[in-house]
Amino acid sequence: MSLTISHRCQSIAPSLTLKIDANAKEMKARGLDVVSFGAGEPDFPTPAHIREAAKEAIDMGLTRYTPAAGTKELRKAICEKLRVENDMTYSYGDIIVSNGAKHSLFTLMQAILDPGDEVLIPTPCWISYPEMVRMAGGVPVYVPSTEENNFIPTNRDIASRVTRRTKAIIITSPSNPNGSVWSREQLEFVAELAITHPFYVISDEIYEKLIYDGQKHLSIANLGEEIKAQTFIVNGVSKSYAMTGWRIGYVAGPRNVIKAMTNYQSHASSNANSIAQYAALKAISGDQSCVNEMVAEFERRRNAMCERINSIEGVSCKKPQGAFYIMLNIKELLGRSYNGRVLEGSMDFAELLLAEKQVALVPGVAFEAEGYCRLSYASSMENIMKGLDRIEEFIQGLE
Ligand code: PMP
Ligand code: GLU
């Protein structure tokens, strides 16, 4: 037997979003003046009352294993949140808590996919979905969209990708990387299709609270008991409460699958960190004014950033409705060159911009969105303006 890496693992590319973020942080640590639009994480500190709860948990000795699916207290608090904020009834047996929503999604794919099962993924999409589907033996089936349609695929395009192997669709609203929010009508169409076929709906609602212009989040599971019974709501505390490093995510959904996920998790990782679970309990059931403050600041930055981008010759963007990302359209710049290097695509743009102007962003190619780059505005207003000035200078330097 030779000392090889499994075929399954050989084909997995590292997460480019995490890699770019790590590179930018490392360059900063070396003293370089890097402006990072790469990170998909709030720049605010975790609110004080949540940090205090974690300290309390340590002092109370909450340092032991909890049930694999998470403490009953936290799962009950999640049900209460879903009842009060989303008008949906779940009981704690319908919930599993994991090490971040990424882990929730991973375990969910393991629980529902058999080899060859297809998962519809509207694109541009978050980088980890296709890899997670493949890791579970499934087949990602992309459903493309256009900027004109706010990066949401048309009903016809969605329906045309459905086959007898379709097992699930992933809906991310608000979306990463586009910040798009699905309308009630769009969700109704997916719900009807999913019920008729039938297939599962994976509703990634991690950016639920980061929604602007007075809009309110709508979950597809809200559309009726029938669709709720085949939908998984994936959420967590990373984005809403500036808790990316704490690693708490959860899934609410059909109990038989939640049970299967719990069995899987009980061998793969056991419970999520007990201290972080206690902190998440405080985040979810405590004072929510910290969220409103962060959302107001994100909205202010989004407005300023969109306006500034659209004042730069050669690039443009649409105003997103949620999350903290903007898709920068760089199509007009492709084919031009900087110091002799031709911009063939978004990867060249991102690499050159980092090397020449110390600005980090994520190339659209990472999200199945060639011709675009993703900018995160989870960064101070001062940094945003500094970074955009540098992008303008870079563009002016193109031949
Ligand atoms: N879903 C989406 C769309 C995301 O952008 C992220 C970003 N990390 C996650 C899930 C996972 O979040 P976390 O694991 O930090 O809870
Ligand atoms: N979701 C964030 C992003 O897209 C964080 C990095 C990751 O988990 O991929 O940048």
SS3 state at 266: helix
For each successive 10 residues of the chain (399 residues), what is the average pLDDT?
90 83 87 91 96 98 98 98 98 98 98 98 97 96 97 98 98 97 98 98 98 97 98 98 98 98 98 98 97 96 98 97 98 95 95 94 95 96 97 96
CB atoms inside a 10 Å sphere around CB 32: 10
Q: Whose CA is nearest to atom 7 of ligand 1?
A: 40
What's the CA-to-centroid distance between 379 and ligand 2, angstroms?
Answer: 15
Asked whether 257 and 222 are in contact (CB, 8 A), the reply is: no
Q: Measured from the CB, is residue 126 less than 6 Å from ligand 1?
A: yes
Phi and psi dihedrals of 375, rounded to 5? -115, 130
pLDDT recorded at residue 17:
83
pLDDT recorded at residue 263:
98
3-state helix, strand, coil in the chain (%, to 5): 45, 15, 40
Q: Measured from the CB, is residue 17 less than 6 Å from ligand 2?
A: yes
Q: Name the closest ligand to CA 375.
A: 2
DSSP string, 160-193: HH--TTEEEEEEESS-TTT-----HHHHHHHHHH
pLDDT recorded at residue 76:
98
CA 342, 345, 348, 350 dihedral sign is: positive
What's the CA-to-centroid distance between 179 and ligand 1, angstroms?
Answer: 13
pLDDT recorded at residue 75:
98
The CA distance from 349 to 354, in Å, is 9
Measured N-to-C along each axis, helices 48-59 and 274-285 cross at an angle, to the nearest 10 degrees, of 140
Q: Which of 46, 103, 128, 205 to mutate to test the pocket of ligand 1 (most atoms within 8 A of CB)?
A: 128
Strand partners, 341: 338
The CA distances from residue 365 to 253, 327, 344, 348, in Å, are: 32, 12, 12, 10
Q: Measured from the CB, is residue 40 less than 6 Å from ligand 2?
A: yes
pLDDT recorded at residue 280:
98
pLDDT recorded at residue 25:
87
Does the pTM surpass 0.85? The reply is yes
